[in-house]
Homo-oligomer: A and B are copies of this chain.
Amino acid sequence: MTTQDLPSTAGNPESSGRTIPPASVARLTIYLRALNSLLAEGVERASSEELAEAAGVKSPMLRKDLSYLGSYGTRGVGYDVQLLTRTISARLGLTQEWRVAIIGAGNLGRALAGYSGFTTRGFEVAAIFDADPSIIGTEIGGLKIHNTADLETVLHRTGANMVVLAVPGRVAQDLCDKLVAAGITSILSFAPVVLQVPPHVQVRKVDMATELQILAYHAQRAQESELDSETRARKAQ
């Protein structure tokens, strides 16, 4: 790939863009949330300092992140909240609607199906699946639970183009394979296993056990350094 087959940015100031570093993409979603709060409060302008504060980052970082989108601020003034909101949304792909299928109607699947943060911004729950015959056919929030045996058919019929996997680890890879076979390329997995997928499929993982373990690591270190300083204090006596 040479400089020449770079996408159509040349005469196209609109979707002005090269690829955004992954770390920045993650933070853009946070900025978006901060901006939505400001929007709700009726705030029209904000400086990088104010936005950074709200997002919990330092202002130079926020400015660098925003610079990947192009130049949407006004020097000496700040950013127009509405414009910036629209710009980030567009760039993250939130102006089109995404149809999400939830696989697994256990506790977690139900919680997700009822999660309002879902529908509020560009994500629509398109279908819910489970393998348990005793709950297939019953409804959750107005959506009938489908049989995972009908995965491909129902995914296509409902137009689902994203999937949230909320199933036990032992069946996750099997379902994942079926999703890939059905043409799904975006998967958010809550299953505590490493999913093997072809390179064109994006998988993101949310893992409570991992997060708790990371907290445990830091908590233990804090304990140790506490003990250390006690020991030191005792020696110093």
> Which of B187, B192, B212 makes the CB contact (< 8 A) with A123?
B212
Determine the chain B residues whose CB is within 8 A of the CB of A34 once the complex forms: 194
Contact at A206–B215, with CB atoms within 8 Å?
no
26 contacts across the A-B interface (CB closer than 8 A): A5-B232, A19-B221, A26-B214, A29-B209, A30-B194, A33-B192, A92-B213, A92-B214, A93-B213, A93-B216, A94-B213, A98-B219, A100-B212, A106-B111, A107-B107, A107-B110, A110-B111, A115-B208, A117-B209, A118-B208, A162-B215, A185-B222, A187-B215, A202-B222, A204-B211, A204-B214
Question: Could you list 12 further interchain pairs (A-B, Cβ under 8 angstroms) beyond the known A92-B220, A186-B215, A204-B215?
Answer: A19-B221, A25-B217, A26-B210, A92-B217, A93-B217, A93-B219, A94-B216, A96-B220, A106-B111, A117-B192, A118-B212, A202-B219
Q: Which residues of A are at the interface with B, using a C-beta cutoff of 8 A?
A: 5, 7-8, 19-20, 25-26, 29-30, 32-34, 54-56, 91-94, 96, 98, 100, 106-108, 110-112, 114-115, 117-118, 121-123, 161-162, 164, 185-188, 192-194, 196, 200, 202, 204, 206-222, 224-225, 228, 232
